Amino acid sequence: MEKNKTTTDFLLEHASIQPVSFHMPGHKGAELYCRFGYGAFLDKLMDCDITEIPGADNLFQTEGILERTQRRYARLYGAERSYLLVNGTSGGILAAALASVPEGGTLIMARNCHKSVFNALTLGNLRPAYIYPEMLEEFGILGAVTAAEVERAIKEAPNASAVILPSPNYYGICSDIRAIAEVTRNYGKVLIVDQAHGAHLKWLGQERNGGRGPECAEDAGADVVINSIHKTLASFTQSAVLNLMSDRVDRYALEDKLQAVQSTSPSYLLMASLDISADLLETYGGDLMWQWNENLRYFYEEVKSILDIQVIENLESLDRSKINLDTSPLGITAAELERRLMKRGIFPELTTGNILMLMTGIGNQRRDFGRLLHALREIRAELGQCGKGERKTEAQGGRMPEKRRIYPVPKQKRRVRLEEAEGLICAASIIPYPPGIPLVCPGEKLKAEDIAYISQLRRAGEKVIGVNDEGRVTVGV
């Protein structure tokens, strides 16, 4: 850490190098707003940072300007109702889970769910029943959740109230929500889809926009869908939208939970940026999506001519807006490729083992893809002859969360040194970040191999949430 450098110093310095962003947020900087006539909002940013003055409506009892924005989203996604979120999809997940499952009840959840779902377990005193995603062995990453797996879990936990899973997952792999929704409907369960990474699917995958790809969960029959508009569309970080698609979740219970998990001072800057993102979609959505698809097509085509750069492609379940590069043929790790890209001012979203993920967004322009291709060509030349196909590290994100016995989540907790935790029951999730998928969850026993793996990540300087500064984890008494 550089001494004396402030957060503001860092941000201004970073902006001054005019970086190419292949990470969140999706707007990718001021240019998108300026190009489409929202520059005045950016110029007046501080002056637009207000509170609930007369005429400004109230997020938790909308009837004016905020209600209008919510209706715009409901129209855009075809929802019964849409809710603006200022605590990201994380807040929407908490509210949806708590509104769908009574205290002490059971939530069927994908084992690769985001940590907000695990937080919902603690807050609602909920019991988890896990569904396990498939593994894409070839790439060492997690794939889709099948409808058959959801049905298995429902049969094993028939009293569960709801099912929740992420689709797309962090790598852009989507589950067949249509088939899953049929199962949940047949068994009378609520289906909540964490579509944090797929707010754009409604438009980008459409043939009329020059695209192809998985359908969005709203069209496929989910009951509640939560979208991080900030991740791939055009709003500010932390802003998101929850779409209520059916009356299977009590609207008023949901609204009650939404106000409980969000700030009582919701930022008008975030909410206005959601309004702008909706306006962009309504007014220029077709063109923007067409351009995005064209840029992706250009990239996927051109990258083929670079020797040893391999992309994950042609999976029917893949949202191609997430570009996954497999670095194994280059003989370097994804982290090493990321370092070389960042030296050239290009910033990816995620590395896991040999997979480097570049997150494209509505604000990326053709020149960003051009710079990326140029950098990849340079790096390929720089590497010369390299160890073909050698895997340099274990694919961390690909460590399949294994099926484990679930014990009651401990109510009495203590902190012990990681090395002394073997055989103890985890009381707070241990989560390598990124990708933010828990390795050990509350109610699971810590094994020797977990401890060895977590220690290895920490030695390598990776962030592991759930292990504190003193190297301690939280377990049952």
Ligand X SMILES: Cc1ncc(COP(=O)(O)O)c(C=O)c1O
Using CB under 6 A as the binding rule, whether residue 240 contacts ligand X is answered as yes
> What letter represents residue 318's amino acid?
L
Closest CB to ligand X among residues 23, 189? 23
166 binds ligand X (CB under 6 A): yes
Q: State the binding string over 431-450 for ligand X (x if CB under 6 A, else -).
A: -----x--------------
Backbone angles phi, psi at 320, to 5 degrees: -70, -5
> What is the smallest separation between the CB atom of 189 and ligand X, expressed in angstroms?
20
When asked if residue 26 is in the footprint of ligand X (CB under 6 A), the reply is no
**Contacting ligand X (CB under 6 A), which of 89, 146, 351, 352?**
89
Residue of the chain from 26, 88, 128, 432 that contacts ligand X (CB under 6 A): 88
Contact 116, 126 (CB under 8 A): no
Q: Of the listed pieces 26-34, 88-96, 241-249, 320-328, which binds ligand X according to CB under 6 A? A: 88-96
State the nearest-atom distance from the C-beta of 111 to ligand X, in Å: 13
CB of 326 closer than 8 Å to CB of 312: yes
In angstroms, the CA 204 to CA 216 distance is 10
What gap in Å lies between CA 171 and CA 318, rounded to an integer? Answer: 8
Q: Which amino acid is at 352?
A: T
Would you count residue 317 as binding ligand X (CB under 6 A)? no
**Binding span for ligand X by CB under 6 A among 120-128, 193-201, 217-225, 273-281:** 193-201
| Count of residues near ligand X by CB under 6 A | 13
Least separation in angstroms between residue 228's CB and ligand X is: 4
Enter the tokens of residue 206.
Answer: 């459409």
421 close to 453: Cβ distance less than 8 angstroms: no
Helix H or strand E segment including 278: helix 268-302
Minimum CB–partner distance for residue 231 and ligand X (Å):
6
The answer to the question of residue 361 lying near ligand X (CB under 6 A) is no
Phi, psi of 76 (to 5 degrees): -60, -45
Q: Which two tokens stand for residue 106?
A: 């059971």
Comparison of 436 and 443: residue with beta carbon closer to ligand X: 436
Nearest residue (CB) to ligand X, 117 versus 446: 117
CB of 352 to ligand X, least distance (A): 13
**How many residues in the chain?**
477
Task: Tell how strand 355-359 and strand 350-352 pair up.
Answer: antiparallel
| Cβ atoms of 241 and 73 closer than 8 Å | yes
**Distance of alpha carbon 234 from alpha carbon 231, whole angstroms:** 8
Taking the complex as a whole, how short is the minimal distance between the CB of residue 168 and ligand X, in angstroms?
8
Q: Which of 90, 273, 354, 360 binds ligand X (CB under 6 A)?
A: 90
Rounded Cα distance between 93 and 103, Å, is 16
Task: Considering only the C-alpha atoms of the chain, give the largest distance between any 2 of them, rounded to a whole number of Å.
Answer: 67
Closer CB to ligand X, 436 or 466, in the complex: 436
Residue of 170, 171, 203, 453 interacting with ligand X (CB under 6 A): 170
CA torsion 452-455-457-460 (nearest 10°) is -120
Report the residue from 57, 151, 176, 194 that binds ligand X according to the rule CB under 6 A.
Answer: 194
Smallest separation (angstroms) from ligand X to the CB of 96: 12
The three-state secondary structure class of 159 is: coil
Residue 141 CB, nearest approach to ligand X (Å): 13
- For ligand X, the binding residues (CB under 6 A) are 88-90, 114, 116, 166, 170, 194, 196-197, 228, 240, 436
